[in-house]
Structure 1
Amino acid sequence: MLLLLFGPPAVGKMTVGRAVAARSRFRLFHNHMTIEPLLETFGYGTPPFEVLNAEFRRRVLEEAAAHDVDLLLTLVWALDHPEDVAGIESYVEIFDGDVAFVELRADLGTRLERNRTEHRLLHKASKRDVAWSDGNLREMEDRWVMTSQDGPQRAAELLARHPHLVLDTTGRTAQESADRILEWVDQGS
């Protein structure tokens, strides 16, 4: 099974994902596991970065599906970006539709505060330039639709075909969020 944990930057995807993985059968594959090594070598958003990031993620998903590894994948998904939607659709195909979506939400102020936490900066070298990271977070907020609340039709249709939990992480610990997610998964999503 693929449990796809998505939401805007600094909403808590990696932290919640770690809490879920620590208490369940899911193995965590968070988005920065491919971003960080490629960033250092090629630079963010360059053509080789984009190609390899997509290929690495796809191969990990293919191997997990082929070997019955229950995988928890975290990522930022621009629901209004056709290439992002196509990528998510391809992930669903890899797992033959055995996919559930968990959407994390938090207000911008909370996310900007979380953008500076020691845990985030420790595990995501690309976020250590906090001024750049805050600016990037704000730019993404302005540029893309990253929650299903106002998501475009194609993304809404994809989410409607699969179990989809929306969880506000504001005021919740990672453990509380993980408990809610695992309860939902155990109930058959």
Structure 2
Amino acid sequence: MKVFHNHLAIEPVLRFFEFGSEPFTRLVGEFRRRIFEEVAGSQAGLIFTYVWAFDVPADEAELDHYAAPFRDRGGRILYLELSASQEVRLKRNKGELRLAEKPSKRDLDWSRRNLLELDAKYRLNSNGEFDGRAEYLRIDNTELPAAAVAERAIQHFGLG
């Protein structure tokens, strides 16, 4: 499956509009929706990454909207929630691969402040509210390498 990480839509729009502004939000949302519609129509699989504020109902509604083209075509929608300690996430936030894909995160002081502010403002973990659902898996990847996380997800969802 192809990976559509959240910043593939964010970064190009940031060149023209401030994060969170009305044009920014509209364009990022429309870009994602169009990509998802085309991918769903092609019968290809897709992995989408998203920072979900679980205490903001609009976030869940947005994710449902993005899933609709796949669901409408009989696709399987799976949710993998990754959590890690704030200390580890702050360290990862400065990682070379992350910064290569996310130019807006290269101002490390701003990026650190942003991560801490988002943690303080929103509930960014489900706290187990979806546990037990077949289409959902929560993994604490504080100590796990990406390959181990992927293997757990493949096994749990029967993707092998």
TM over 0.5: yes
Residue matched to 1:47: 22
Q: Deviation above 6 Å: which 4+ runs of structure 1? A: none
Q: Any idea what SS the aligned residue of 2:16 has?
A: helix
* Identity rate, percent: 39
Question: Mind listing any 5+ residue stretches in structure 2 that lack a counterpart?
Answer: none
RMSD: 1.9
TM-score (norm 2): 0.90
Is 1:109 aligned to residue 84 of structure 2?
no
- Which gives a bigger RCO, structure 1 or 2 (Cα 8 Å, sep 6+)? 1
Contact in 1 for aligned 2:32/2:66 (Cα 8 Å): no
Q: Could you say what secondary structure the match of 1:42 adopts?
A: coil
CA distance in 2, matches of 1:109, 1:34: 27
Pair 1:167-2:145 in alignment = no
Q: 1:86 aligns with which of 61, 73, 77?
A: 61
Secondary structure of the corresponding residue to residue 49 of structure 2: strand
Q: Secondary structure at the match of 1:99?
A: coil
Aligned to 1:34: 9
Residue correspondence of structure 1 range 1-189 to structure 2 within 5 A: 26-96=1-71, 98-149=76-127, 156=130, 163-186=135-158
Q: CA deviation at 1:64?
A: 1.2
Q: 1 CA distance for matches of 2:62 and 2:116? A: 23
| One-letter code aligned to 1:123 | E
Query: Shift of residue 43 of structure 1?
Result: 2.0
Count of paired positions: 157
